[in-house]
Amino acid sequence: MRAADRGALRAREKISAQDFEQLKYDHHYHPESFQVRALQQWLKAEKPGALSGEDYRGALGSLASWNLSACRDNKVAALAILTMAPIQKANGALADSAEIDRAGWVAGSTQFGSATLGADSPHYADQAALFVREELREVYFDRDRLLENVSRRYRPNRRE
């Protein structure tokens, strides 16, 4: 979803399920993001001798015309993301950081929503495959269906 579309959604109190999925699976970098601005600045700067040769001209041209899409079939996206990685690391910025404005709107989010940060957790990447396929997992609102699908029950100071 493009930046202008995001702005239009901000003005609405509710969004449709289709708009939600469009936002959740948005594959585009915002044109004003730190990463894109840094990449554009780097592309305009004079390059060291090794990068100014014919071998790199095509790659630099591809980066300059990149449409900011990170769709998995976008070959330039891989080049752009790998090129932006050291810029991002040097600045200490995280691509998946979230910012909440005064009105409570989330301006960014982690790629996997509420995935835990502990790699040893069974929930560390348990929804990653769904995310890649742009699918949502079923949410159980009916108590009986929920109880049929729990992996474990927890109550403080008690194991069940």
Ordered by start, the domain boundaries in the chain are: 3-91, 112-160
Task: Note the pLDDT of residue 69.
Answer: 94
Token representation of residue 105:
């709107």
Compute the distance between CA of residue 158 and CA of residue 27 in angstroms, rounded to an integer.
Answer: 43
Q: Indicate the pTM of the whole model.
A: 0.57
Q: Give Cα separations from 109 to 40, 71, 94, 140 (angstroms).
A: 23, 17, 10, 24
Q: Tell me if 3 sits within 8 A of 24, measured CB to CB.
A: no
Residue with tokens 């080049």: 79
**The residue to which tokens 């100014």 are assigned:** 52
Average pLDDT of the chain, as a whole number:
77
Residue length of the chain: 160
Amino acid 62: pLDDT? 94
Q: What is the pLDDT of residue 98?
A: 47
The segments of the chain whose pLDDT lies below 70 read 1-12, 88, 90-117, 159-160
Q: In the prediction, which pLDDT does 12 show?
A: 60
Report pLDDT for 77.
92
User: According to the model, what pLDDT value does residue 97 have?
Assistant: 46
Chain centroid to CA 76: 17
